[in-house]
A and B are shown apart, each in its own frame.
Chain A
Amino acid sequence: MLNRILAITGKEFLHLWRDPRMLAAVLLMPVLMLLLFAYAISFDIRNVPTGIVDMDNTPTSREYAQAFDASDLFNVSYRADTISGVDAVIDEGRVSIVLVIPKGFGKDLLAGLTAEVGVYVDGSEPNSGRVSRAAALALTTQYNRELAVRWADLNGVDISAVGGLEPLMRTWYNPELKSSDYLIPGLLVVIMMIVTVQQTSVSLVRERAQGTQDQITVSATRPTELLLGKLLPWSILALTEVGIITLVSKWLFNIPLRGNLFAFALGTFIFVVCGLALGMLISSFCNTLESANMMAIVVAFLPSFLLSGFVFALEQLPEWIQWLSCALPVRFMVELTRDVFLKGAGFAEVLPEMSFMLIFAVLAITLAAHFYRRRLR
């Protein structure tokens, strides 16, 4: 049994060495994805084109507007002292947020009254709209005066509907712009999910297409032996990939690793086996390389982004979606990673997540072996 597993592992390694370009792609892809995603997502919240309508034009109002000017988040590209042009600049897309400081702002504040400001958000781009809105609120809070913010939105975004996301947004885009702390650990997980599922999704399909599957079958190799033999080299590779992107994110984004590194490593190992086993499962019932590839993309991408808590906090989603997210290991790994990185968790705290992923891995391998066997006969 072990001998056959090792024989298959050895063979898989040979395939890898044979194709250095593929090996390089496999190792570099996660890094590339990390950089692209990380910057794409953080760019969203930088240099938001902003308009300031200062109808008050007092030292106090100018001081308040200055807070926006100084922030990386807002790029003040439109200034006026009357509200009349605001509709036009938003319509043209020149700005996506406008801060309106009404007349009497400075006087009210100095008199100890609650002053009001208006914020107009371009709702046609809901994400950056939401982000800017949250950031404006944060800045205003930071401005540390008694201000009531009156929101108004254009283009029909229902603020009460997106309002549920507000707490999350505030954590991400906190005033110090340390969004990456929260974002990157989740991103690592999503990337690993995408990468691992893809790596094995064509594995069995290729054996079938090459006819080598028959030769493996006649040697009385059991499906489980074949699967384990194939999982071993890929999980080593996947662990290397995780190591690389973890180092890159630590170095580039200065992510703290507060918890137990070994807990993270063990969790990661179980998780990559989950991903690879999921790929095998896809491979066990797909007919062509193309369909296996497509299936891998659908299975890996969508749930990783939507059901992992990486982008949308799971607690905010409908209950049935929360249940659905439990069907995939990715949400548990996102939790585990954040717990270890940010909350300083050790083995004990992440034991539930690990156990769940372990169950998933065993289940996926068993199912893949089952489908593989059934297709043979």
Chain B
Amino acid sequence: MDQLAIASTDRPLVKHFRAVVAVAGISLEVSPGTVFGLVGPDGAGKSTLIRMLATVLAPDSGDALIFGNSLVRDTEEVSARMGYMPQRFSMYPDLTITENVNFFARLRGVKKAERKERSAKLLEQMGLTPFAKRFAARLSGGMKQKLMLASVLMHEPDLLLLDEPTTGVDPVSRREFWEVIARLRADGKTIVVATPYMDEAERCDQLAFIDAGRITRQGTPAEIKAMVEGTLLSVLTTDPHETATVLRDARIAGVSSGHIFGDEVRILAKDSALAGERVREALHQAGIPYELNAINMDMESAFAVLAETAPVQEAADA
């Protein structure tokens, strides 16, 4: 394989905001042509990490190599091959789609003829062509995100840094957005994306769990799910909160975690047969109707479990 899209140095990235540690020391390795997902609770440092990689924020210490260029020293070379899409909509509300796209491309030094050709192509791909003359302020959430992505793609970057690009976007637009990401990946682009959605995390090639400014776990979605030991039991019920309380009070041995997902309570058990028995007893006693199933581990549950278990060994390497 060629050079890494993002390579670590012996100095991990660190960023403080006054007394608060946002990124406590992170080294990333991202292969070109992959989708790399960053997941973790709010305030874990995902945005700060992305902003540092985007050269918007200077690290307090540490460095990383972006296509072999130092993030800290070769800022101009790094930013030329990189596109950054912040979490918040950040285009001029009083300019039209075309004007916004054109302006940022011009700043990036894209020639006029290329600007014309690429913006036509990108707006078409994003389904924005009919709205090209609409002011950015008057776009829906999904269209705003597509406009940002189109704008970020104008200088044909090889590395895309996307910070929660689909937050607050309707499900249909979200799916369309990920179709675009899949297409970009197929074109050989490298994508680093922070996401709060576990179904999106599942679509990544590699995932990093970030907690308190460090990467606590890293691997493919399958590997991440495999890190959670035990069997997942689903208790479907009409009153999940009451059920969760009952199960917690029962203090069932071997059950390490319980979470509410909609109207089901999921618990993680070392021995599913034994735990299942105890669950039935407890709920029967409390008089709660339920339906109990053993289910496959999914990203959502894995995330919930991993987020609350103390980071093990991996934290030390990170």
Contact = CB atoms under 8 A, between A and B. Distances in A.
Contacts of A219: 79, 104, 107-108
B299 interface: no
Given A14-B99, A211-B88, A7 B94 contact: no
Interface stretch (B30-38, B52-60, B166-174, B204-212): B52-60
**Which of A11, A18, A218, A219 gathers most chain B CB within 10 Å?**
A218
Interface in A202-258: 210-212, 214-221
A215 B57 contact: no
Contacts of B54: 214, 218
B56 A4 contact: no
Contacts of A218: 54-56, 79, 82-84
B107 A212 contact: no
A377 B57 contact: yes
Interface in B75-96: 75-76, 79-80, 82-84, 86, 88-95
B131 interface: no
Given A211-B89, A214-B90, A11 B56 contact: no
Given A4-B107, A7-B103, A377-B58, A19 B82 contact: no
B56 A376 contact: yes
B95 A14 contact: yes
Contacts of B127: none
Contacts of B82: 218
A330 to B, nearest CB: 32
A160 interface: no
A11 B95 CA distance: 9
B51 to A, nearest CB: 8
B106 interface: yes
B109 interface: yes
**Which of A18, A211, A215, A219 gathers most chain B CB within 10 Å?**
A215
A219 B56 CA distance: 10
Contact of B76 (A8, A216, A220): A220
Interface in B141-161: 151
Interface in A2-37: 3-4, 7-8, 10-11, 14-15, 18-19
Contacts of B94: 14-15, 18-19
Contacts of A215: 84, 86, 90-91, 104, 151
A220 B92 contact: no
A220 B80 contact: yes
A18 B56 contact: no
Given A18-B95, A214-B56, A10 B103 contact: yes
A contact patch SS: helix
A212 B84 CA distance: 12
A74 B177 CA distance: 78
B107 A217 contact: no
Given A7-B103, A218-B56, A218-B79, A210 B109 contact: no
A3 B109 contact: yes
| Interface size grouping (class) on chain B | 20 to 34
Given A219-B107, A377-B58, A214 B84 contact: yes
Nearest to A212: B90
A221 B107 contact: yes
Interface string B22-63: 000000000000000000000000000001001111100000
A61 to B, nearest CB: 70
A287 to B, nearest CB: 15
Contacts of B58: 376-377
B75 A220 contact: yes
Contacts of B109: 3-4
B18 to A, nearest CB: 14
A28 to B, nearest CB: 21
B103 A15 contact: no
Nearest to A206: B92
Nearest to B135: A18
A376 B84 CA distance: 16
A18 B136 CA distance: 13
A218 B75 CA distance: 9
B190 to A, nearest CB: 16
Contacts of A221: 107
Contact of A11 (B80, B92, B151): B92
Contacts of B56: 214, 217-218, 376
Contacts of A376: 56-58
Contacts of A14: 94-95, 99
Contacts of A19: 94
B280 to A, nearest CB: 53
A243 B259 CA distance: 71
A211 B86 contact: yes
B14 to A, nearest CB: 14
Contacts of B90: 210-212, 214-215
Nearest to A18: B94
Nearest to B104: A215
A10 B107 CA distance: 11
Interface in A71-91: none
Lowest 9 A-B CB distances belong to which pairs?
A: A211-B90, A7-B106, A377-B58, A219-B107, A18-B94, A220-B79, A220-B76, A218-B84, A214-B56
Given A7-B107, A10-B106, A214-B54, 9 more contacts: A8-B107, A14-B94, A19-B94, A210-B91, A212-B90, A219-B79, A219-B108, A220-B55, A220-B75
Interface of B: 51, 54-58, 75-76, 79-80, 82-84, 86, 88-95, 99, 103-104, 106-109, 151
Interface of A: 3-4, 7-8, 10-11, 14-15, 18-19, 210-212, 214-221, 376-377
22 contacts: A4-B107, A8-B107, A14-B94, A14-B95, A14-B99, A15-B94, A15-B95, A18-B95, A210-B90, A212-B92, A214-B84, A215-B90, A216-B107, A217-B55, A218-B54, A218-B55, A218-B56, A219-B107, A220-B75, A220-B79, A376-B57, A377-B58
